[in-house]
Structure 1
Amino acid sequence: MERTPDGFVVRGDLTDEHVFRPRRDRAVRTTVQHRVELDERLRVMQITDDQVDVVGRAGAVPGTEMPVLGAAVRAERRTGRVREVSFRRTWDPSKPKGERVVEEARFDSHEVVRQIRDVAVALGWDERDGAAQRSGRIFGLAGGAIALLTLVVLGVALLVR
């Protein structure tokens, strides 16, 4: 956790091999952070999720006729309400049937948000949606209204015909 001037940030680095299995041909780095902005006067908080995936690849380019040595980096960022779920299990086939799972790791970014909310509610704080969530809801409702209006117009056009 890191304090900021208007609240705090909770970061989770999912690069750990217990969460994502490493691949030989590419390097993956995923970071999920939850930015919490606090308005102490109104006792209102706003949680915005931020996920950054950076994928690096080096070596021969697959699917080409002639091998070409190259490297590439791709970065992707998602903001708003992001949920990242991953899990890993390790089995030992030499153990008895009910005891074969040796190690189990699970990550769910929603659990972090739930813990932040639970503590905030216990302290008497309310939650307000962030700008990304509000704009997404507005665009979703506008798209639904346009689709409904289109269906009504098409239905009227077919009945008038």
Structure 2
Amino acid sequence: MLPEALDIAEVKSEMTEHPAEAPFVIESAKNSDGMLSLHSLPDELYAKRENFTISPEALESAIQASAFFVSGETFPELIGMGAADVYQPLAQNFYVYTQKENRQNSRDVTCHMTFTDGNGSILAECRDVRFRYGHEKDTVQTDDELIRLLRQLETNDIDQKAVLKQLMGEE
């Protein structure tokens, strides 16, 4: 179980700066075990988040930054997410602390993403986020599909695992 807050300065002190190729990332640092990235949503996107606790743009930014970290330079395919817990809505500026968990096989990498505010208060977690190298096809979902699925997830209208499978294009 994670503490209620993450000491951002301490985590950052054990890392070196490393630019992450992802939208809305304004700084990032990493070491061999983890990456800390600071994300900032533009005013117009933050204002249009439509009561989402995590907007689609914020989640996409976090996933892309995490994919870049776990893969090095090549973007792997997101193939699944074990669980997502949202404790508080994300702020306009937020940190994502990505930790590699293990390599399940030569093509899969698993990580844990922790979302915090500027003070390190933990706002959300995504566990068992799985990426795969060497994917053969891209999963394409429209923004409307993503928004519908995120709304169902937030309102607990359907099973979280079913929504996450749909978000990952597995159903």
Q: In proportion to residue count, which structure has more strand?
A: 1
Bigger Rg, which one: 1
Q: Is the structural similarity TM-score above 0.5?
A: no
Q: Tell me: higher relative CO, structure 1 or 2? Use CA pairs within 8 A at least 6 residues apart.
A: 2
TM-score (norm 2): 0.25
